Structure formats: structure tokens, C-alpha cells
Structure 1
Amino acid sequence: MTIQSPETSFPIVIVDNYPVMKMPKRLTVLEAVLFKQVCHKYLASGSLSEQLILDFKETEFMDSSGIGALVHNFKAAKSKNVALILYHTSPPVMAVLSLTGLDEVIPITSTLETAQPSPGLPQPPETHPSVCSWIKRTIDIIGSLVGLLITAFLFIPIAITIKIDSPGPIFFHQTRCGWLGKRFRMTKFRSMCVNAEELKEKVANQAQGAIFKNTNDPRITTVGRFLRRTSLDELPQFWNVLKGEMSLVGTRPPTPDEVENYEVPQWQRLNVKPGMTGEWQVYGRSRITNFEQVIELDLRYQKNWSHWYDLQLILKTLLIVFRKNSGAV
């Protein structure tokens, strides 16, 4: 992945004895990479102030790459005992911080000058046209309602087989990261043993990068393998789609520990909502063993997105879902 440096230098000026870093008008992948580099260079410079102020007064747009760089720099500053403080956050930046919950993690101040952010509720940023498309959202609602009806019809036989095969809960809940990295609780039919999360570190990871794969994962139950091969384990995710946390079609929803290892450019995949299916499901599925392939497919989806393209991916998913070895592992 080739990244060219944008025409901005992130200058640091001294205001009231505090180092203040001027943020650019846009904080997307190009600026975010440089933002991380400049901030880490400053933190490695030696004599540091107890605080580093990030001046977002002129910033009009920030996407998931900007969030990724901000999270990276916040953790790096904390390791150096430097308080990273956001100053004069503009409404667009505040919208992103509120959406992701970072406004409760990273300190925000407006005391260095008298100007205040514009009143009113901040509007969510348009990181990708699919996020704000009412047509896509309508399709999601209709599709999720149909999916939930199917789930209700199949619930009793699936629940019984899960219980007989492996005593324990019917559902498996896991925290995943959605649009712009906002965390949500994803639900599936349980396909692994009850203590699967505790046993994860004992299972070899056959994938490369920030994903976990093992084609013969011993934690998967007998019924679980069938549920995964037929994608029946994913039926409860229609509830996540109805709530707006996911979409019928999108990118693969990562876990927080996967996002923890992302480099700044890889945060681009979070510019759209995660989906129950997508490029990774149709063209990669369980065959993907390299995280760079996931990134490539996710970015290709964002580039090629249209309502017709979504429908094509849904139809292709239905055609391949019952094929031998097509299911997730």
C-alpha cells in the first residue's frame, strides 16, 4: 500500500507555555500517517511538556484513519507520561469523537481561548456515500426483518441441536468494531465450546496479520461446523443490521484486539459499516489467510460500491453459501 505525504507539516507552537500542534482541515489517511509520524517524533525528542495540545479548530473532516492515528498517538503520549489533550474541537470532529466514544477517553478543552464550538447537535461525518444512503438503509431494514422471520422459524431446531451437542448458551456474544471503530455487541448462534475465548491462545493462528484463522480449530463443535458451513450461525446478526450497527453488505467486522494492531492506513476499512456479507465473503471467505487480502477486498468494495453492487454480492452469497467448504471457519 503506497502512501504519499500530504502538503501539511503539523506545526507545533507555544501558547501560554503549552505546546500546541495545529491540525489540518482534513484528517484522512494521507494526513493521518504524517500526523502519527510527527507526533511520535515529538514524543521521542527528549525534554517534553506534561501536555501536548492538539488544536482542531480548523479541522472540517476526520475519517477512520484519523481516528486510528489519534488513538495511536494518545497511547504513545500516555506511555511517555504526556497528557494528549484535544483543544477547540470543531463540530465535525466532535461528531466523530462522540460517535466512537473517544470524547469520554481523551480529554477535551476549550479554555485556551474564548471562542466556543458552534451550538447544536453535531452531524455524523460522510466517510463514504454508503453510510448516508437512505436506499441502502431501507434495503437493510427490509432484509433484516425478513432475516429475523427466517431466524424465528429456524430458532427451535437450531437451539435444540446446539444444546444436545454442547451444553451451554445458545447464543454467542462478542464485541466488534463497526463504522469509525465504534464498538457494538454482535450476536451469533454459538458454534464453539463454552470456554472458547479462554482457549484461543492455545490454538495456532494460521493467518498473517491482524486476523485469526485456524482451519481445524478444535474449539468448534460438531454442530458448530455445520452452522458455519451453511452460515446459519450468522442469522442473529440480522438484529445488528436492524439496529443499524451493521449492514447486509459491507466489510468484515473486526474485533477490538484486531483493531489494536492496525496501522493507520488499515483504519480505512472502517469508513463503511461492517456487513453480514461482502467482498471477503464472496471472493475470499475461509480461504483468506493474509490480512492484507482483507484490506484489499474491503477497499475494493468501497471503491466499487453501488446499490446494484450490493444486490450482486447478496445474490452471489446466496449461491455459494451451501457449497462444500464455503463456510467460515
Structure 2
Amino acid sequence: MENPGSINPDIQIIALVGFAEDFLHSFLENCDFEGRQLVHFDNGMILVQEWEAKKLPIAAIISHSEILSNGGLSLMETLKNRNMPSIPFFLVVRYFNSNLRILALTAGISDVFRLPLQQNRLEKRVLFFIHNWASLIKELPVHTRSIYRTGLAKRIFDVCFAGMALIMLFPLFILVALAIRLESKGPAFYYSLRTGTGFKIFKFYKFRSMYINADQKVKDLMHLNQYNIDQKKEQLKQDDAVLCEACMQTGKCQYPIYADGAKWCEKDDVYVNSQKNGSAFFKITNDPRITKVGNFIRNTSIDELPQLWNVIKGDMSIVGNRPLPIYEAEKLTTDKSVLRFAAPAGLTGLWQVEKRGKGKMSEEERLMLDNTYAKNQSFINDIKLILRTIPAIFQKESV
């Protein structure tokens, strides 16, 4: 397996992105790709830089990355934006389902292979696409949904609004941060990964409202559960760490939250309030995992204020559809649901204004409102939603 510095420019290249495991190196070296060079790149950005600088004869790309991660759809979008030559693009993943397959193929990814790999299948598929690529892209054009681009007026408004809000609210930030640190050990801020416009993944900032070991408290709170979960009790007793169904497949948390060295599970809230067969199986009234300060900042939405920094960075807008955790976004890949990702990710949006404080909202209602916003998004409508958001924020609701 070659490195970028030892490439023979006269032989076609199969670019390998993100393959760190030795066993995968050995596996791929034993594959018969008809004499083509296997060249490893640590990440997608290095691949793009080397490709552009050296005009590499790359015939195909095989990326070891989940579909919604940086080496998946994000890398595919980067290649398109840089106007790189069209070549077969393959993904090697650990987690996979039918919805993710549709999402990947719709975005133009040639094929997805789930670990463990099958040598014969990998060789046949890669070589088939290389040999027939010209005919495939001519006869089967890939139509991708255009990703939302923030208009100049909206971006100027976002930066000015968020900048002034951060300056004005700075004293409040200091007070809230001190209150959080005084009540419980741990950082005042944390970030988790969210999926925004065009399935772009970014760091999503909030004030901490729970104890940092909240996920470890779930087993101790089973007696407070409002629902019959007898079948879950034995499972929880058997595991040292509380893992959701998705994480149990790998034996470790796949959705960590990070803050100054501390780490806990992003799916903790989802686990405690998750749904199975349409009904919640674990729910706690007056959840003791939430701090007193946390309860106040949640009810007043103060915990969301650090996302003003996301607006400054360009990850989000003031108004848009709320960015979703990756495990929720990967379920919304059908034609009727993917439209919401064509709109900007925002601090506030249509469903927050329409439904906040008016009782429980179904997933169908929320999706309908998200799609409605995406179809009718305009700068004027954004201003109207901002004016309607202010009274909605202070409606008492435990979120």
C-alpha cells in the first residue's frame, strides 16, 4: 500500500480514505484490483489537496466512514464543490440500514459495504464501476437535491443579531455559568454533534443542565418510572453501563457529549424518554438528574443561548429548522422528510412558535411544520417568526 509521496503517476490509483486498522490494510492489499495502486490518505481534506496539487490519476475512492460522517456525504459534497473529476465513490461502514442506503445512493455514492467485508464482492463491485463508469454516469445520471445557501441579507442579519445578542447577554452568560459550576461539578458548557443543512454535521453548544454522570443514574431511578418496563429492568441490571439499543450492538456509547474533558451519553435524554412501538417506555416526572439551575434554564430556554456562537460560525441561522442529533437525522431520509434539511438550521423556527406551550406534538406535526418552513422560507418570513418567538420563549414548559 502506497503513501501519497511514493505514487507512480503512470498507474491508476484507488484512493483509500480513513483506513487506520491494520487488518483492513492487509485485507485490501490482498484484493485484486488489476494492478492499480492502493494509496492511503488519512482524511478527505488530504485527499483533495493531493489530488488537486499533483493531478493524481485516481480511478476510484473507498472511504472508511459512516454515511453521515465527514468521510461520507460531507466528503462527497466537498468533491463536487471543488469540481473534482467524477469517479466511483464507495463507503465502508459499521452501521447501516435501508434508509441510509437510499440516502447514500441518492447523493451519488456508488455502493456501500458493511463490515465485515467480503473480498469477492468488493473486488467485483469496484472493478465493475471502474470499467463501466463512463456508461453509468451517462445512462444513469444522479440528481441530487441542491443544498440551501444562506442569502447575503440573511447572513448579515444573523451575524449582526447574534453578535449584538452575545455582547448584551455576556453578563447573563457569566451568571449562569457560575450558577452551574457552584451547584454541581463539571463544565458550564458542552457540545454534541448535530445534523443541520444538507446533513452537515457540526458541534452544537449548550449550557449544561444535567449532572455529568446522568446516564449512570438511570439504573437508580427505575422505581420512578411511570410506565411498565419490567422487561427492561433485567437488561439494565446485566449491563454495567446503560446503553441504548443502537449502542448495545457495539458494546460502547456511539453518541458521546464532550465538555472540557468530561464525556457522557447524548442519548441519555433520548433513552429516558425514548419510544418503542409508538409509546414511551421510560419517563420520569421531576427528573432528579436535572440540576435546579438546569431546570430553570431549560424552562426559559437560556440553555440554548450558547448556540448564538453557532450562528456566528455559520453552522446555524437565527431562524430555521432545529438541527437534529445524528441518530434522529438518519431516520429522516424519505422523500417526505428529507425536505426539512434543505432549509437552514436555526435557533428558532416554525414549530417552536406554533406548538410551544400548547401540549405534546407528534412527530408528523413537527415534520409537517419543518417542511412548511423549508418550502416557504424567506427573509421576511424569518423576521415575522422572530417577532413571534419572543413571547413563546417565556411560556412555561419543561423541555
Is the TM-score greater than 0.5? Answer: yes
Asked if residue 279 in structure 1 is aligned to residue 315 in structure 2, the reply is no
CA contact (8 A) 2:356 2:395 kept: no
> Is the radius of gyration larger for structure 1 or structure 2?
2
Q: Which residue of 2 aligns with 1:232?
A: 302
| SS of residue matched to 2:289 | coil
Q: Which residue of 2 aligns with 1:204?
A: 273
Instruction: Give the drift of 1:153.
Output: 2.1
Secondary structure of residue in 2 paired with 1:150: helix
Structure 2 unaligned runs (5+)? 1-33, 35-87, 91-99, 138-143, 215-263
Alignment of 1:39-58 (within 5 A): none
Seen in structure 2, the aligned counterparts of structure 1 residues 134 and 163 have a Cα distance that, compared at 3 Å, is: same
Check if 1:311 corresponds to 2:383.
yes
Unaligned runs of 5+ in 1: 1-15, 17-52, 56-63, 88-106, 118-123
Question: What's the CA shift for 1:150?
Answer: 2.8
Does residue 161 of structure 2 align to residue 161 of structure 1? no
Kindly state the Cα deviation for residue 75 of structure 1 after the two structures are TM-superposed: 8.3
Evaluate the alpha carbon distance shift between residue 144 and residue 164 of structure 1 in structure 2; reply closer, same or farther with a 3 A threshold: same
Conservation of the 8 A alpha-carbon contact between 2:356 and 2:392: no
| TM-score (ref. length: structure 2) | 0.51
Alignment of 1:254-269 (within 5 A): 254-265=324-335, 266-269=337-340
Whole-Å Cα distance in 1 between the matches of residues 196 and 319 of structure 2? Answer: 13
**Mapping of residues 1-329 of structure 1, within 5 Å:** 67=103, 70=106, 77-78=113-114, 81=118, 82-83=121-122, 126-128=146-148, 131-196=149-214, 197-198=264-265, 199-200=268-269, 203-205=272-274, 216=285, 217-265=287-335, 266-285=337-356, 287-325=359-397, 329=399
Alpha carbons of structure 1 residues 193 and 69: separation in structure 2 relative to 1, 3 Å: farther
Q: Could you tell me how far 1:133 is from its partner in structure 2? A: 1.2
- Preserved CA contact (<8 Å) 2:197 2:345: yes
Deviations, residues 84-141 of structure 1 (Å, cap 9, x unaligned): 9999xxxxxxxxxxxxxxxxxxx9x8775689x9xxxxxx98434xx34111111111
Question: Cα distance 1:113–1:164, how it changes in 2: closer, same or farther (>3 A)?
Answer: closer
- Relative to 1, partners in 2 of residues 1:231 and 1:113: Cα closer, same or farther, differing over 3 Å? closer
Alignment-mate amino acid for residue 190 of structure 2: F
Partner Cα distance (1:264, 1:185) in 2: 25
User: CA 1:180/1:113 → structure 2, altered by over 3 Å: closer, same or farther?
Assistant: closer
- Going from structure 1 to structure 2, the CA distance change for 1:174 and 1:75 (only over 3 Å counts) comes to farther
Note the C-alpha offset of 1:229: 1.4
Q: CA deviation at 1:172?
A: 1.8
| Distance in 2 separating the partners of 1:305 and 1:239 | 22
The CA deviation string for residues 182-232 of structure 1, in whole angstroms up to 9 with x for no partner, is 1100101111111344444751326987x9996744432211111011111
TM-score (norm 1): 0.60
Q: For residues 219 and 84 of structure 1, do their structure 2 counterparts lie closer, same or farther at Cα, with a shift above 3 Å needed?
A: farther
The alignment of Structure 1 onto Structure 2 pairs a total of residues equal to: 238
Q: Map Cα deviations across residues 32-56 of structure 1 (whole Å, 9 max, x no partner).
A: xxxxxxxxxxxxxxxxxxxxx689x
Q: Which moved more, 1:262-271 or 1:140-149?
A: 262-271
**Contact 1:280/1:294, CA 8 A, preserved across alignment:** yes
Distance across 1 between alignment mates of 2:310 and 2:392: 23
Q: Distance in 1 between matches of 2:185 and 2:326?
A: 28
Question: SS at the partner of 2:356?
Answer: helix
